[in-house]
Amino acid sequence: MTSGRIKRIALPHLVGLAFFLIWEVAVQFYEVPQFLLPAPSRILEALADNFASLMSALWVTLRITVLAFALAVVGGVALAVVFSQSRTVETALFPFAVILQVTPVVAIAPLVLIWVGFDNVNLALLILAWIVAFFPILSNTTLGLRSVDHHLMELFTLYGASRWQRLWSLQLPASLPHILGGMKISGGLALIGAVVAEFVAGSGSGTGLAWRIIEAGNRLQVPTMFAALLLLSALGIAIFFSLSVLEHIVLSRWHESAIDREK
């Protein structure tokens, strides 16, 4: 491991550690009431005390996020492929995908909840998280499929490649960097979508982390709020990290962004 790499990993950790230490000391020293700002030690305590219920809430949020993300990847790539095959379909449908994207999910949430029904809240959450996560995949994949080197496209034409061969052997592999970039954005958005949707779904209906934050807030259990928040951050980091690892595994052999060149 090079010194540069050690620095890159150690430095942010040290800054984080220093931040929490100062927080801990400051809260203790100034005797800040815990319903305003609990000390990190108190937050960890709350996490330990409510471990089982927080974990089950984490599981609910994780499940919705991952499912919404997976469906966004499948749907986004599939629709982009359809767009790449027909400019007419793309021209006809793309504006509606944009409308779906630019309309704030908070504003659509109540409608979706009514349509799906309050006894199916998890389905509503899934739909809302999917709406947010879907667009980056669609737009990045569309861009990727369109950015294929035109000489390579001509080469496939020369050899009489079918649409399917062209898609499978050229356009999709060439779009992988774009698709994976879209996935990194979309993974984080799926989590945000799931949390926002749960906030909107409101009292008594949610069982995920967002609902735990509202519930603990109502009871002024601020350390528990922070504990749930901590888990949400950890979940977001885990999603981003997994997708970065995936990107590195897929692209490291050939793509300019991931090739380790001698400096």
165 binds another protein (CB under 8 A): yes
255 binds another protein (CB under 8 A): yes
When the beta carbons of 93 and 250 are compared against another protein, the nearer one is 250
Measured from the CB of residue 19, what is the shortest distance to another protein in angstroms?
41
149 binds another protein (CB under 8 A): yes
CA separation for the pair 238, 235 (Å, rounded)? 5
Is residue 101 helix, strand or coil? helix
169 binds another protein (CB under 8 A): yes
Measured from the CB of residue 186, what is the shortest distance to another protein in angstroms?
22
Neighbours of 187 (CB within 10 A): 27
Measured from the CB of residue 151, what is the shortest distance to another protein in angstroms?
4
233 binds another protein (CB under 8 A): no
Question: Do 43 and 223 meet the contact criterion of CB atoms below 8 Å apart?
Answer: yes
Find the binder of another protein among 47, 170, 210, 225 (CB under 8 A): 170
Long-range contacts of 207-216 (CB under 8 A, 24+ apart): 207/56, 207/57, 207/60, 208/57, 208/58, 208/60, 208/61, 208/64, 208/125, 209/54, 209/57, 209/58, 209/60, 209/61, 209/235, 210/61, 211/57, 212/53, 212/54, 212/57
173 binds another protein (CB under 8 A): yes
User: What's at 248, amino acid-wise?
Assistant: H
263 binds another protein (CB under 8 A): no
Residues binding another protein (CB under 8 A): 149, 151-152, 154-161, 165, 169-170, 173-174, 176, 253-256, 259
